[in-house]
Amino acid sequence: MGNPVRVRFAPSPTGYLHVGGLRTALFNYLFARHQGGKFVLRIEDTDQSRKVEGAVENLVETLHWAGIHFDEGPGTDGAFGPYVQSERLAVYQERARQLVEEGNAYFCFCTPQRLDEVRRRQLAMKLSPSYDRHCRNLSAEEAAKRREAGEPSVIRMKMPNDGEMTFDDVIRSKVTIAYKVLDDQVILKSDGFPTYHLAVVVDDHLMQISHVIRGEEWLPSTPKHLVLYKYFGWQPPVYAHLPLLLNPDKTKLSKRQGDVAVDEYRSKGYLKEALVNFVAFLGWNPGDERELFSLDQLIGEFSLERVGKSGAVFNIEKLNWMNAQHLRMKDDREVLVLLKEYLEQHPLNGNKEFADDYLLGVVSAMRERVVFVKDFVEKSPYFFKPPADFDPAVVKKRWKHETPQLLRDYMKALSSVENPFKKEDYELTLRRTVETVKKAPGELIHPLRLAVSGVGSGPGLYDILALLGREETIRRINVALEKLS
């Protein structure tokens, strides 16, 4: 048996969780759970200048909302903490010094001004800008003397000068990158903080990470990391680089073209089940026609071998469809809880309290017509408050000269029906009313719907009337007669 599976999601706290980050976290989580392994959250905050207040708390809360629970991480201690990189500086500094002592890294004293000048010259010569290795061959004595004099310095790793590296990737098979395109990367900054490249290798090794599942944008950095593993004499993890997320026009997904923060989708009313299901399909598929999965079903099915390398298009229409499907898959009581939460957050009709049975009736009448929970209110406001006005196009089409008398006849007939008054009594009474005056049912059905709802479409008319009740139905008809006659 191989080593136990241990994976990590290692975001930088530079903002709220992006859907790309959610995808990375989800794939790591699904892989760990499918393999019976551990999922670790590590906060990579070595770039203190970009740290955003509250970002870590948002990351943790958003992952928990989505059902992605980490086994180890901030606030959930394991044997490999601390799980915040700014609390591990001594570890990185010791490893950087080890690399220098063994001749695999060196102190660099180049000033920002010199580096800018080198970059300008290279660009003028149409070369890719990179460090010119000016300090690479300084003697240990010279470096020590300059450091003792207080000269600021960084530590750079020594990349091989020529040749190429080939490595295996679960998703992309073999990847080859020439060393000449790789820089002598800074691994320890002058303020004692590591860069990503040193910290990620040290932490993945010390935290016994078995598989690194991350975005395609890290693919060019992988040779740098593998060189560091070689210098330290450590066994590298298995790599799997996920495909890019794309806009419908095949450009890289970005805020310029729409929402990217998970919070923005939450605030718009997307269900966590739908968002997780949708994000799982951004690069992965089960190999057949199935599209709707719960988180547990995704865990049961997930494998890295079914992740493709082509860019995954973020299709908002597909997400909306999935949201509607997941909402319909919930039973009425589950939807009732969500609807009550929405009404608490968006009070209307003078904060009127609605009975559970009434709201369950609304759910039953509308569930095939909604995409979001908010649609129960926004697409059928007449269930929650009387119409303030009436759709002019429907009035013009449906409100005829004989309509007021037909509605009065209907009200009179409704009032005369003895209790217990049932849903079918609304239809029976309507049919008797139009038969008496020799009219077609539609001549009363359409203006009646307009009178009670203010609009010309919606769920079944008799469902609406039964929910509103006889008294409210008659009251609304009277208001409509007063406003429209």
256 pLDDT higher than 80? no
Is 255 one of the annotated active-site residues of the chain?
Answer: yes
3-state class of 374 per DSSP?
coil
Domain ranges of the chain: 88-242, 330-384, 386-485
Give 27-80 pLDDT, tens digit per residue.
999 999 999 999 999 999 998 888 889 999 999 999 999 999 999 999 998 999
Q: How many angstroms separate the CA atoms of 208 and 40, rounded? A: 10
Residue 126 structure tokens: 């149409």
Burial of 350 (0-12, 13-18, 19+ CB in 10 A): exposed
Q: Are 131 and 187 in contact (CB under 8 A)?
A: no
Whether this model's pTM surpasses 0.85: yes
Task: Provide the pLDDT for residue 77.
Answer: 86
Q: How many angstroms separate the CA atoms of 228 and 200, rounded? A: 10
- CA end-to-end span of the chain: 83
Give the H/E segment covering residue 156. Answer: strand 154-157
User: Strand 211-215 to strand 6-9: parallel, antiparallel, or no bridges (unpaired)?
Assistant: unpaired
Alpha carbons within 13 angstroms on the beta-carbon side of residue 139 total 3
pLDDT band at residue 353 under the 50/70/90 scheme: confident
User: Strand 312-313 to strand 245-246: parallel, antiparallel, or no bridges (unpaired)?
Assistant: parallel
Tell me, rounded to whole angstroms, the distance of Cα 282 from its chain centroid.
11
Residue 306 region, left (φ>0) first, then alpha (ψ -120 to 50), else beta? alpha
Q: How many angstroms separate the CA atoms of 94 and 365, rounded? A: 66
Range name among 210-214, 247-251, 348-352, 455-459 with the lowest pLDDT average: 348-352
Q: How many angstroms separate the CA atoms of 194 and 206, rounded? A: 16
313 pLDDT higher than 50? yes
Q: Are 319 and 342 in contact (CB under 8 A)?
A: no
**Residue type for position 222:** T
Instruction: Say which residues have a Cβ less than 8 Å from residue 422's Cβ, sequence separation at least 6.
Output: none
Give 129-152 pLDDT, tens digit per residue.
999 999 999 999 999 999 999 999
Range name among 15-19, 287-291, 324-328 with the lowest pLDDT average: 15-19
Residue 345 structure tokens: 């957050």
* CATH assignment of 88-242, among 3.40.640.10, 3.40.50.620, 3.40.50.2300, 3.40.50.300: 3.40.50.620
Handedness of CA 63, 64, 66, 67 (dihedral sign): positive
Q: How many angstroms separate the CA atoms of 234 and 219, rounded? A: 20
DSSP class of 233:
T
- CATH topology assigned to domain 330-384: Helicase, Ruva Protein; domain 3 (1.10.8)
387 pLDDT higher than 90? yes
Instruction: Say which residues have a Cβ less than 8 Å from residue 92's Cβ, sequence separation at least 6.
Output: 85, 188, 193, 194, 198, 199, 202
Give 435-445 pLDDT, tens digit per residue.
999 999 999 99
Mean pLDDT within 285-306: 97
Question: Average per-residue pLDDT in the chain?
Answer: 95
Catalytic residue among 145, 230, 255, 352: 255
230 pLDDT higher than 80? yes
Task: Provide the pLDDT for residue 350.
Answer: 61
Burial of 157 (0-12, 13-18, 19+ CB in 10 A): buried
pLDDT band at residue 1 under the 50/70/90 scheme: very low
Mean pLDDT within 98-107: 98
Q: How many angstroms separate the CA atoms of 194 and 154, rounded? A: 10
Q: How many CB atoms lie within 10 A of CB 340?
A: 15
Q: How many CB atoms lie within 10 A of CB 28?
A: 26
Residue 119 structure tokens: 């970059």
Q: Are 298 and 277 in contact (CB under 8 A)?
A: yes
Give the H/E segment covering residue 241. Answer: strand 238-242
Give 393-412 pLDDT, tens digit per residue.
999 999 999 999 999 999 99
Q: How many angstroms separate the CA atoms of 178 and 182, rounded? A: 8
Nearest alpha-carbon partner for 134 in 160, 161, 114, 163? 114
Q: How many CB atoms lie within 10 A of CB 333?
A: 10
Q: How many angstroms separate the CA atoms of 420 and 215, rounded? A: 64
Instruction: Say which residues have a Cβ less than 8 Å from residue 80's Cβ, sequence separation at least 6.
Output: 40, 72, 206, 207, 208
Q: How many angstroms separate the CA atoms of 297 and 312, rounded? A: 21
Mean pLDDT within 205-213: 98
In sequence order, the β-bridge partners of residue 240 are 213
Alpha helical stretches, state H, 168-221: 196-206
Residue 288 structure tokens: 């057949």
pLDDT band at residue 2 under the 50/70/90 scheme: low
CATH number for the region 386-485 comes to 1.10.10.350
**Residue type for position 442:** G
